[in-house]
């Protein structure tokens, strides 16, 4: 067998100069926000493949560097390792002698892979007559890949599948893994290696980009498909134009018909009920500003005894005659900062007819609130005894209201009570529906269940709207087909749209971050940060957003009520309270006091010196006194230490200087303002759940 020694430059017989190309250069300079970058160019670059004219094997994107002919009309290409061949080689299987680069003039067989060759370039040991082909000589280079998600080369060191945890997706897999010899911890499954750089999902308008880290991880970011948290170290797909993030396996899952359900109503799913079987089914959110379920139930229910206006225009709930008002007149209108609340259901009055007090004492009733059933039987929360309608809370709760046993909210409007057990519910919870549908989960029926009866896979049950834990004794609405829950407050008490004086458009209830909105969200009412992964109101045209709990607080006098994080979630904690009524503590304080929601400007309690913000308080605007409802008398006629005396005694015992408790009383106005096993990357496009 005849071999002739050659030089590397004799192997590369090409007339044109060669250029070293970096296949990943475009990716390294890629900027997601730059519209000058063509996504298709990046996709084509990742799918790049050609043949090496020296060794005859494939050149791909994962080699990263290769040589090409400088002439655009010539397709001559070389591996970087083939272009930079050495004249000598120390081969691991033949370390006794050094192999030299030679050219065989006859047929020969590679001693490493036993491949037969007719002629060609090889590395040869003349002492042992041992030769290997270029593929085996450059095996290490051929098994090595360069991935833009890691700064060091990666090598597959196993032939058989292994079980290991993948760094990219954070999950355990069995299969081929690529490892980094520099970073001990970095090991990545071949499926994650071959993920496409760009991905299209049917339910999102923009292409998603494979992201290897968060520069700044957004607070409370969740996968938009499975609605669970995204780890800051795991790879994910994200949109450069929206606050849209998805797990790798969620983005590429296919064939599971239920997956679209977790996209908060944006995906497609089959309807699991027939509308004809539920003729009285309520569809939420309700379209009107009053978000009132009472008239819907009164129209569909069969009640024998009703509360009603008497012939002399008197109503048992009020000492003065009531006047039926049919003219539009001045109704509840946040655009004009007009607040008109019903004393019965404590909801905005936005339509006529209505009843108003002839003595102008700020007493108003919806027309339907004068026709409430006087008794409710078999209530789901208290089926043992009937519940009777009452127009004002028991005497000791007459001013501060009562706490509803269903929703847990304070209420000073009408309600239903069990005379045996003192079980209290507000009028809305008195008519809590058994089933409903919701726009956030449109094709599946939601059924009323008690949270303690649900066998959840997780330790806690959380509302999909606000993220707050649903306690065991609470009622919630559940999809029997999906892991979807809504507490009764978010399900029933949030309207579809709201109005804001500083936005000429109506703000719509949104169930996830808005498309084409990448910046942070801030509430136009309280001016605090807004977490768009929980429900909120948003105007697409103007980009304005409002916490769902701040929606009823658009009026000037109510701003600054919310304080803690939970106060901004779900519904307003004072949604069932009507404020503005004067209370007189005859023997304790000489001036009338107002029951109001505490804000920051009210400072601290005159008794316990605790914060007043976001709590029910009594306020005297004559003496500038303010104190928690719990610190005051339970009965306005009862005897207790006078406010002024208590205040003087407390001031003597206080530790903090007087200046810390002095507050400016002027109202604050807030304005809204993947031969050698090499990975092959395919181009994925999810359409109707199939790639």
Q: Please determine, for residue 546, whether its predicted confidence score (pLDDT) is greater than 90.
A: yes
Within this chain, do residues 44 and 59 fall inside the same structural domain, yes or no? Answer: yes
CB distance 135 to 142 below 8 Å: yes
Q: Please determine, for residue 429, whether its predicted confidence score (pLDDT) is greater than 90.
A: yes
Within this chain, do residues 132 and 152 fall inside the same structural domain, yes or no? Answer: no
| pLDDT number for residue 669 | 35
Within this chain, do residues 15 and 137 fall inside the same structural domain, yes or no? Answer: yes
Q: Please determine, for residue 100, whether its predicted confidence score (pLDDT) is greater than 70.
A: yes
Within this chain, do residues 23 and 130 fall inside the same structural domain, yes or no? Answer: yes
Q: Which domain holds residue 545?
A: 496-568
Within this chain, do residues 66 and 185 fall inside the same structural domain, yes or no? Answer: no
What is the average per-residue pLDDT within 14-34?
79
Alpha-carbon gap, residue 263 to 226, rounded angstroms:
7
| pLDDT number for residue 268 | 45
| pLDDT number for residue 654 | 44
CATH number for the domain that contains residue 554: 3.30.60
Phi, psi of 444 (to 5 degrees): -120, 145
Within this chain, do residues 100 and 48 fall inside the same structural domain, yes or no? Answer: yes
Residue 280 covered by a domain: no
Q: Please determine, for residue 487, whether its predicted confidence score (pLDDT) is greater than 90.
A: yes
Higher-scoring residue by pLDDT: 292, 615:
615
389-427 tens-digit pLDDT: 998 776 656 667 899 999 999 999 999 999 898 899 999
Q: Please determine, for residue 3, whether its predicted confidence score (pLDDT) is greater than 70.
A: yes
**Peptide bond connecting 285 to the previous residue in cis, omega within 30 degrees of 0:** yes
Task: Measure the N-to-C terminal CA separation of the chain; round to a whole number of Å.
Answer: 53
Q: Please determine, for residue 22, whether its predicted confidence score (pLDDT) is greater than 50.
A: yes
Q: What is the count of structural domains for the chain? A: 4
Parallel/antiparallel/unpaired status of strands 497-500 and 484-487: unpaired
Six-digit token string for 422: 């003192």
User: With 0-12 CB in 10 A as exposed, 13-18 as middle and 19+ as buried, what is 336?
Assistant: exposed
Six-digit token string for 516: 């084409």
Name 299's Cβ contacts closer than 8 Å, sequence gap at least 6. Answer: none
Within this chain, do residues 556 and 605 fall inside the same structural domain, yes or no? Answer: no
Split at pLDDT 50, 70, 90, the class of 661 is very low
Residue 107 covered by a domain: yes
CB distance 210 to 223 below 8 Å: no
Q: Please determine, for residue 639, whether its predicted confidence score (pLDDT) is greater than 70.
A: no
Within this chain, do residues 20 and 126 fall inside the same structural domain, yes or no? Answer: yes
Burial call 66-84: b when 16+ CB within 10 Å, e when fewer: bbbbeeeeeebbbbbbbbe
Within this chain, do residues 12 and 103 fall inside the same structural domain, yes or no? Answer: yes
| Rg, C-alpha atoms of the chain | 36
Within this chain, do residues 648 and 546 fall inside the same structural domain, yes or no? Answer: no
Six-digit token string for 323: 């006047």
CB distance 415 to 404 below 8 Å: yes
Residue 458 covered by a domain: no
Name the DSSP letter for residue 491. H
Ranges 149-158, 337-346, 580-589, most confident = 337-346
Residue 411 covered by a domain: no
| pLDDT number for residue 260 | 35
What is the average per-residue pLDDT within 620-642?
67
Residue 246 covered by a domain: no
What is the tally of helices (H) and strands (E) in the chain? 12, 46
Within this chain, do residues 549 and 621 fall inside the same structural domain, yes or no? Answer: no
Residue 261 covered by a domain: no
Residue 407 covered by a domain: no
Within this chain, do residues 151 and 113 fall inside the same structural domain, yes or no? Answer: no
Q: Please determine, for residue 446, whether its predicted confidence score (pLDDT) is greater than 90.
A: yes
**Peptide bond connecting 353 to the previous residue in cis, omega within 30 degrees of 0:** yes
| pLDDT number for residue 684 | 58
Split at pLDDT 50, 70, 90, the class of 32 is low
The Cβ-side half-sphere exposure at 676, using a 13 Å CA radius, reads: 24
Indicate the pTM of the whole model. 0.72
Residue 682 covered by a domain: no
């Amino acid at each position: 067998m005849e071999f002739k020694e050659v030089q590397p430059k004799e192997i590369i017989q090409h007339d044109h100069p060669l250029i070293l190309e970096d296949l990943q250069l475009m990716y390294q300079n890629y900027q997601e926000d730059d519209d000058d970058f063509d996504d298709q160019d990046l996709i084509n670059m990742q799918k790049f493949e050609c043949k090496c004219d020296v060794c005859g094997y494939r050149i791909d994107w994962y080699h990263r560097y290769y040589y090409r002919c400088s002439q655009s009309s010539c397709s001559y290409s070389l591996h970087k390792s083939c272009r930079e061949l050495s004249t000598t080689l120390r081969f691991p299987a033949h370390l006794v002698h050094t192999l030299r680069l030679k050219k065989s003039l006859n047929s020969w067989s590679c001693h490493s892979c036993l491949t037969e060759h007719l002629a060609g370039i090889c590395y040869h040991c003349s002492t042992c007559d041992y030769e290997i082909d270029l593929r085996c000589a450059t095996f290490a280079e051929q098994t090595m890949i360069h991935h833009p998600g890691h700064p060091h080369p990666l090598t597959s060191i196993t032939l058989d599948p292994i079980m290991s945890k993948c760094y990219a997706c954070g999950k355990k897999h069995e299969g081929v893994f690529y490892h980094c010899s520099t970073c001990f911890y970095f090991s990545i499954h071949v499926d994650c290696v071959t993920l496409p750089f760009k991905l299209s999902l049917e339910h999102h308008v923009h292409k998603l980009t494979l992201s290897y880290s968060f520069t700044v991880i957004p607070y409370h970011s969740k996968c938009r498909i499975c609605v669970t948290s995204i780890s800051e170290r795991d790879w994910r797909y994200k949109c450069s134009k929206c606050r849209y993030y998805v797990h790798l396996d969620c983005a590429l899952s296919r064939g599971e018909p239920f997956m679209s359900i977790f996209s908060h109503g944006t995906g497609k799913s089959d309807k699991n009920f027939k509308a004809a079987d539920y003729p009285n089914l309520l569809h939420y959110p309700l379209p009107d500003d009053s978000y009132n379920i009472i008239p819907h139930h009164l129209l569909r229910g069969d009640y024998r005894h009703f509360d009603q206006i008497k012939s002399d225009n008197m109503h048992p709930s009020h000492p003065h005659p009531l006047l039926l008002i049919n003219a539009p007149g001045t109704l509840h209108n946040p655009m004009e900062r007009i607040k008109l609340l019903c004393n019965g259901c404590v909801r905005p009055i936005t339509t006529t007819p209505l009843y108003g007090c002839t003595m102008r004492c700020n007493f108003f009733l919806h027309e339907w609130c004068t026709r409430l059933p006087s008794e409710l039987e078999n209530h789901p929360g208290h089926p043992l005894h009937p519940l009777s309608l009452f127009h004002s809370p028991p005497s000791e709760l007459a001013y501060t209201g009562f706490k509803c046993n269903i929703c847990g909210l304070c209420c000073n409007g009408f309600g239903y009570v069990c005379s045996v057990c003192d079980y209290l519910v507000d009028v809305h919870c008195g008519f809590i529906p058994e089933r409903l549908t919701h726009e956030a989960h449109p094709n599946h029926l939601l059924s009323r269940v008690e949270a303690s009866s649900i066998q959840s896979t997780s330790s806690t049950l959380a509302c999909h709207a606000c993220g707050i834990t649903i306690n065991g004794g609470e009622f919630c609405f559940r999809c029997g087909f999906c892991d979807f829950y809504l507490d009764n407050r978010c399900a029933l008490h949030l309207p579809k749209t709201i109005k804001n004086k500083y936005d000429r458009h109506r703000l719509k209830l949104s169930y996830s971050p808005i498309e084409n909105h990448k910046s942070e969200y801030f509430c136009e009412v309280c001016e605090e940060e807004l977490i768009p992964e929980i429900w909120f109101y948003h105007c697409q045209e103007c980009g304005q957003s409002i916490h769902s709990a701040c929606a009823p607080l658009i009026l000037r006098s109510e701003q600054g009520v919310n304080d803690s994080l939970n106060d901004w979630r779900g519904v307003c904690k004072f949604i069932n309270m009507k404020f503005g009524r004067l209370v007189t503590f005859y023997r304790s304080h000489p001036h009338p006091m107002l029951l109001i929601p505490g804000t920051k400007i009210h400072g601290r309690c005159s008794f316990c010196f605790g914060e007043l913000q976001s709590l029910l308080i009594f306020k005297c605007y004559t003496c500038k006194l303010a104190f928690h409802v719990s610190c005051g008398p339970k009965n306005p006629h009862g005897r207790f230490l006078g406010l002024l005396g208590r205040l003087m005694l407390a001031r003597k015992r206080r530790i903090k200087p007087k200046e810390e408790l002095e507050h400016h009383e002027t109202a604050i106005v807030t304005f809204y303002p993947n031969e050698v096993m090499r990975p092959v990357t395919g181009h994925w496009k999810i359409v109707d759940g199939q790639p």
